């Protein structure tokens, strides 16, 4: 799952990182590379907290919305890819049936042929939009 991050640097400071789609999730680093690495760890830690509290993952915005946001000017927007399967707990194998034509459409959107990851991401997005 990809998360946009906003990286900024004030004079005489480290690089600061904000994760706009995860309120309260932020990080920093002495170099750009370190800031991105630390942001990855911060996102994983934040998601682990959400999972352990049985909280939903907030709905992600399109990156274009962040580009237009005045709070995210004067810095760099980047994407950090986080494999939530590593932090979401034990993986359980299930058997589902999907119409062949629909499966071909799903395959057009999968990353590295990972149907399971795609379906989990789609379910997370759906649940975020329809929180109960």
Task: Enumerate long-range contacts of 5-14, CB under 8 Å, 24 or more apart.
Answer: 5/36, 5/39, 5/77, 5/78, 5/79, 5/80, 6/66, 6/72, 6/75, 6/76, 6/77, 7/32, 7/35, 7/36, 7/39, 7/75, 7/76, 7/77, 7/78, 8/74, 8/75, 8/76, 9/75
Q: pTM for this structure?
A: 0.72
Range of the domain at 78: 2-129
Q: Can you give the pLDDT at residue 45?
A: 94
Total domain count, the chain: 1
Which residues are within 8 A (CB) of 100 and not within 5 positions of it... i.e. 6 or more apart?
Answer: none
In this predicted structure, the answer to whether residue 17 has a pLDDT above a threshold of 70 is yes
Tell me the pLDDT tens digit for each residue of 42-92.
Answer: 999 999 999 888 888 887 888 888 888 888 888 888 999 888 777 777 788
Q: Can you give the pLDDT at residue 4?
A: 93
31: domain CATH number is: 3.30.160.250
């Amino acid at each position: 799952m990809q998360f946009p991050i906003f990286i900024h640097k004030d004079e005489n400071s480290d690089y600061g990182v904000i994760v706009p789609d995860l309120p309260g999730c932020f990080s920093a680093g002495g170099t750009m590379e370190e800031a991105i690495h630390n942001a990855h760890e911060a996102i994983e830690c934040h998601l682990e907290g959400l999972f352990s509290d049985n909280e939903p993952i907030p709905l992600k915005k399109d990156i274009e919305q962040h580009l237009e946001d005045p709070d995210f000017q004067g810095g760099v927007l980047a994407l950090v890819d986080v494999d939530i399967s590593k932090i979401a707990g034990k993986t359980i194998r299930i058997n589902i049936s999907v119409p062949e034509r629909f499966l071909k459409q799903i395959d057009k959107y999968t990353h590295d042929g990972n149907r399971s990851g795609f379906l989990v991401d789609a379910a997370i997005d759906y649940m975020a939009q329809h929180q109960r």
